[in-house]
Structure 1
């Protein structure tokens, strides 16, 4: 629903895509309009499903986690009249997946994350379009088309009537076609091995990094040119733009980064010889002194 339920009320995706050069011909515009219409219809299906899901499983807590880029307000309004539904956009999604009995999605990467965490995910597909659907998250999830199928499957999962470990084993071969290290060492280790092969000369670094005012002004002018129609909309643009950015990423502090590093040490028994320093806004350097 992120392409229909937008954070900005007056946001025109098609016009924005033209300005950014993402739509270059009529064929591409038709495809994008098809994409928007699909999500508009899907959005309505999910709203109806949420209310019925709440009634069917009224003894269970339902957490609705909106997409970072979409408008959370409509979901919050719906949740106000549903006693067992909360709209929560906090913390890493992995923590919520681990705590959940089951996760419901459509065409979302959380389906992949659920699979990798060993948690049941259901892809609810009341409508389907092969040009729009992403194969991986759907194929790593149980697929249903109707609310009745969805609710029956949710009930079976909650009652431990689904052999999910067996399902994971069956889908693991498919997952390996997309994910290189399903059962091997971490991606971070592979990346570091490649980086270590690069012959780079040592050089001194000075923190914090000084802001390049020319680049900042250039980017600012580009944003204004891309999104504004008239000077009268400037103030409105900045207010909405800041709120949108904050919703997607509220920022990161040096204290939070140190907590992350401490968590890595506790979880792996490694990295105790590393330190972290802030080099720019929301930008940090993890290094070995």
Structure 2
């Protein structure tokens, strides 16, 4: 019976290995690598299938290696048994055979490979950690820069805010002209309230509640605009809702009894001889020249 195509190819590869040796194996490895696909690109099913196949090949290779070692040991034992003779014959023999069992370094090849792979993984982790720290620091720097830029940007004017709102709403020119004045007026009032609040806050004179009671009231509460008004002006919601009335009457207490007492004391003080200007004493009188001439005559 003739050979199959697989058997013919296998025999051909064996002949090439014996003829070219390591050159052929290197060429085959290079050829196989062109068809190799990384595990990350495979599906889970294909990856499991490849791993199972690799494990089977590795198990077969180890069994084959173990069989070769056992066969070599058996041959060495047979050789030693055949060379064993009596002391006289060994002394007269001119040929001496010595057996030296060198340790097989390939037994620890898997451990060395694992150790090297582990060291490489640790180095990669260390490099990735350093890169991560660098990128985290750079990200924080950029965030701070963005915050500073936001603080530097000026707020829009009432007119530009109104135009921007009209543009975002997609209104036509005619529709925009109808609502532009109302929007500008509302934005101007909000800007004025916000500026006044900032001035009061800087001076710290405690008039925030008064301002909140003026700009907020029953109508704002009815249409649920306290939160929006607080976000636009900066006034806290507590200050907007704490005011009870928009005006206060300053009452003046009479205290009539105290006023009469003080008036009487002032009058008595002024009517004293040493303080009065209406009826001065003799020491305070002054005689003119005409009166002196009359007295002398």
TM-score by length of 1: 0.20
Normalising by structure 2, report the TM-score. Answer: 0.19
Query: Between Structure 1 and Structure 2, which shows a larger proportion of helix residues?
Result: 2
Greater relative CO (CA pairs within 8 A, separation 6+)? 1
